[in-house]
Amino acid sequence: MTQFFNDPPPLPASDIPKRPPQVHVPDEVLARLARCTAGSLTTQLYIKGIRQPVLHGITPLNRKVMPFAGRAYTMRFIPAREDIDTYGNLVTQPHHDHLQWVGVEQLQPGDVLVIDSNRDGRAASMGNMLITRMMMRGARGVVTDGSFRDGLELAQMDFPVWCTGVTNTTRLSYHHVADLNVPVGCAGVAVYPGDVVHGDGDNITIIPAQWAEEMADLCEKRDGIEAYLAMRVKAGEALWGVYPPSETTRAEYQAWLAAGSPAIAPQGPATTMQGT
């Protein structure tokens, strides 16, 4: 006879540990981060110990969008199941088996929807209608490690849309929305609700919410000196002591700022390239 030892009993639901809410990142910090470069952000996050904050393998569908930063609202997919994810089961009111519309209608101004599509682009994560609705709700972008449908329409929108590709295969074929606003993995990066999602022409970068203001402070300083160093390199200086900057170069940067940031004229090939 099998004997089971089940002492103590399972925890009651009220005692199961729950993650405390994230730090709320204010809009003014988001505005500062939007002006920072992905290069400075990834470097400063690496210094803090975050090796890979970039959603690798996704690209923007629309190339004219300005840089942005917003708070992550997450949507988690699991594989679809044939008895649940049927077209006939789509309903016209909130329903536990059709959370995608619920998620879109929960978005707040300043949010970025991050969809964990399990890196499966065989079916669209969503399309033009839902993305238009989230734009009208004040969201700042949408990101998935899968595909979107309606690529031609999305490419014309003044709204950041990042994904791995385009397919018009319906989401129901391969995806089921299992959870909203829970920790997810997107393109190999952990994303917690409330994290900052930063996008520019190069990357989508995830910034832990508790470091958002610190990253804004650090990156504003770094972007300033990086622009100064780039001008010196274009003026013909060798990298040694300039990049990365030595203490002497840092002092020269402060003196340059104090002098009113005068232009540093490029020399040689840089002059030719700027004229073409």
Please write the tens of the pLDDT for every residue from 36-78.
999 999 999 999 999 999 999 999 999 887 899 999 999 999 9
Compute the mean pLDDT over every residue in the chain, rounded to the nearest whole number: 92
Full DSSP string of 178-226: EEESS-EEETTEEE-TT-EEEE-SS-EEEE-GGGHHHHHHHHHHHHHHH
Q: How confident is the model at residue 194 (pLDDT cuts 50, 70, 90)?
A: very high
Instruction: Mark whether 35 and 142 lie in a shared domain.
Output: yes
pTM of the model: 0.86
Instruction: Mark whether 168 and 37 lie in a shared domain.
Output: yes
Asked if residue 87 is part of any domain, the answer here is yes
Instruction: Mark whether 112 and 166 lie in a shared domain.
Output: yes
Asked if residue 183 is part of any domain, the answer here is yes
- Please report, in range form, the residues annotated as the binding site for substrate: 127-130, 149
Instruction: Mark whether 59 and 166 lie in a shared domain.
Output: yes
- Please report, in range form, the residues annotated as the binding site: 127-130, 149-150
Res. 226: pLDDT tops 90: no
Q: How confident is the model at residue 5 (pLDDT cuts 50, 70, 90)?
A: confident
Q: Please state the separation of Cα 152 from the chain's center in Å.
A: 22
Instruction: Mark whether 89 and 208 lie in a shared domain.
Output: yes
Secondary structure of residue 40 in the 3-state scheme: helix
**Domains in the chain, number:** 2
Instruction: Mark whether 142 and 34 lie in a shared domain.
Output: yes
Domain extent for 244: 215-259
- Please report, in range form, the residues annotated as the binding site for Mg(2+): 150
**12 burial level (CB within 10 Å; 0-12, 13-18, 19+):** exposed
Place of tokens 């989508």: 204
Asked if residue 273 is part of any domain, the answer here is no
Asked if residue 2 is part of any domain, the answer here is no
Residue 208 sits in a domain of what CATH number? 3.50.30.40
